[in-house]
């Protein structure tokens, strides 16, 4: 068999044709060439290759499928259309999670014990013997599917279109509970909110604010950007983040040390941890409702983005008038109200 054009573009064309024709020998050779030529791929090859590989992903055999998904994610990170690539990758993620759930059930049913670390390659004979090939592949390739899926979910258009994120979260939660494993980047990416209304009540000043949050990976990032909008914007007193601290929480690469400006508190008085996500903030009357208390202790951390490929922001829409603010405070527990 004589292959087509050299380079990544030629490898994509050969792989696409071989997979479509169910030619295992040719697709195996083209699969190797995909990996060998990706590093030298030119921009047009990446822009074209990502969607083409994503379109045939479901027809790729289970073993190499996750590697091809990672290549699609790498194409997206270098400019390929995420919205065209995402359906194939996210469908593959759901299949892998279903298989991983089957693996965890089979593992428990065949003697249990410590779960093997998923190492991102085809499983060994012991795993296959205990769970079956497809289930073992799903488990073993989870880190690769996480990498590929997060590359898609970094893009707001993908997040808006990914109506099945809830199902992926359900499957991921079942796998994590059964196995004790965590895929934190995938967890947080699937929970990201966009154009989400947030009401923040600043207890010390008795003021309230309507904000809108998008692309926030965790509450450390939210904390810094809230402080930038409210303290940096001159609306409340406290420690404002530096411009550099705020910038790395939006889209500038890197991290900058920062110090906390608030305690983040739920309406019932429970602390909301910086380690969590904005999705942890309760919804009240159609908006996330958050109380900002004076910091109870000094907390410091490296400001930045938990999901470094995702742009985040907190926009202040308006200051609530006193009557609105009081209506929102009516949802805050009496124990916390007494300290206002």
Taking only Cα atoms into account, the Rg of the chain, rounded to an integer number of angstroms, comes to 23
Helix, strand or coil, per DSSP, at residue 169: helix
What is the C-alpha to C-alpha distance for residues 262 and 238, in angstroms, rounded to an integer?
Answer: 8
pLDDT value at 340 more than 80: no
What is the C-alpha to C-alpha distance for residues 135 and 123, in angstroms, rounded to an integer?
Answer: 10
pLDDT value at 257 more than 90: yes
pLDDT value at 4 more than 70: no
Q: How far is CA 180 from CA 8, 74, 119, 127, 175, in A?
A: 39, 28, 16, 17, 8
Cβ neighbours of residue 339 under 8 Å, at least 6 residues apart?
203
Please report the pLDDT score of residue 338 as a whole number. 39
**pLDDT tens readout for residues 104-134:** 999 999 998 999 999 877 899 999 999 999 9
337 or 235, greater pLDDT: 235
Please report the pLDDT score of residue 244 as a whole number. 98
Please report the pLDDT score of residue 163 as a whole number. 67
pLDDT value at 14 more than 60: yes
Alpha helices (runs of H) in 180-315, residue ranges in sequence order? 184-191, 219-230, 243-250
Taking the alpha carbons at both ends of the chain, their separation in whole angstroms is 78
Please report the pLDDT score of residue 339 as a whole number. 43
Residue in the block written with tokens 């939210």: 222
Cβ neighbours of residue 121 under 8 Å, at least 6 residues apart?
140, 141
pTM: 0.92
pLDDT value at 137 more than 50: yes
Q: Do 194 and 214 contact (CB within 8 A), yes or no?
A: yes
**pLDDT tens readout for residues 278-324:** 999 999 999 999 999 999 989 999 999 999 999 999 999 999 999 99
Please report the pLDDT score of residue 164 as a whole number. 62
What is the C-alpha to C-alpha distance for residues 278 and 198, in angstroms, rounded to an integer?
Answer: 9
Q: Do 221 and 300 contact (CB within 8 A), yes or no?
A: no
pLDDT value at 97 more than 90: yes
Q: Which of 80, 14, 17, 9 is nearest to 45 (CA)?
A: 9
**DSSP structure class, residue 84:** H
In this structure, the strands spanning 263-265 and 287-293 are: antiparallel
What is the C-alpha to C-alpha distance for residues 86 and 57, in angstroms, rounded to an integer?
Answer: 11
pLDDT value at 334 more than 60: no
In this prediction, residue 3 has a pLDDT band, given cuts at 50, 70 and 90, of very low
Task: Give burial (CB, 10 Å; 0-12/13-18/19+) of 259.
Answer: middle
**pLDDT tens readout for residues 187-227:** 999 999 999 999 999 999 999 999 999 999 999 999 999 99
Helix, strand or coil, per DSSP, at residue 313: strand
What is the C-alpha to C-alpha distance for residues 66 and 50, in angstroms, rounded to an integer?
Answer: 14
**pLDDT tens readout for residues 268-289:** 999 999 999 999 999 999 999 9
User: Angle 38-40-41 (CA atoms, 0-180°, nearest 5)?
Assistant: 65
**pLDDT above 90 as % of the chain:** 90
Cβ neighbours of residue 122 under 8 Å, at least 6 residues apart?
63, 137, 140
């Amino acid at each position: 068999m004589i292959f087509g054009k050299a380079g990544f573009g030629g490898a994509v064309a050969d792989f696409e044709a071989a997979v479509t024709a169910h030619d295992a020998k040719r697709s195996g050779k083209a699969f190797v060439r995909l990996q060998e030529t990706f590093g030298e791929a030119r921009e047009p090859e990446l822009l074209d290759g990502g969607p083409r590989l994503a379109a045939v992903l479901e027809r790729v055999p289970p073993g190499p499928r996750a590697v091809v998904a990672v290549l699609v994610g790498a194409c997206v990170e270098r400019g390929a259309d995420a919205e065209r690539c995402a359906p194939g990758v996210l469908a593959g993620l759901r299949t892998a999670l279903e298989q991983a759930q089957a693996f965890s059930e089979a593992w428990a049913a065949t003697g249990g014990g410590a779960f093997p670390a998923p190492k991102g390659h085809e499983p060994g004979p012991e795993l296959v013997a205990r769970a079956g090939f497809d289930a073992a592949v799903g488990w073993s390739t989870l880190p690769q599917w996480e990498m590929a899926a997060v590359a898609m979910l970094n893009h707001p258009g993908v997040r808006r279109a990914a109506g099945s994120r809830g199902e992926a979260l359900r499957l991921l939660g079942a796998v994590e509970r059964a196995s004790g494993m965590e895929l934190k980047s995938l967890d947080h990416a699937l929970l990201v909110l966009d154009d989400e209304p947030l009401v923040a009540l600043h207890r010390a000043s008795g003021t309230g604010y309507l904000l809108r949050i998008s692309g926030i990976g965790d509450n450390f990032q939210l904390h810094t950007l809230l402080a930038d909008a409210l303290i940096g914007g001159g609306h409340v007193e406290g420690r404002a983040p530096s411009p550099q601290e705020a910038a790395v929480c939006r889209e500038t690469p890197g991290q900058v040390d920062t110090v906390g400006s608030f305690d983040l508190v739920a309406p019932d008085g429970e602390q909301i941890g910086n380690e969590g996500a904005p999705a942890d903030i309760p919804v009240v009357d159609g908006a996330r409702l958050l109380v900002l208390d004076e910091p109870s202790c000094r907390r410091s951390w490296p400001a930045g983005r938990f999901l470094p490929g995702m742009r985040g922001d907190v926009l202040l829409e308006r200051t609530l008038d006193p009557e609105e603010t009081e209506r929102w405070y009516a949802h805050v527990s009496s124990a916390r109200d007494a300290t206002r």
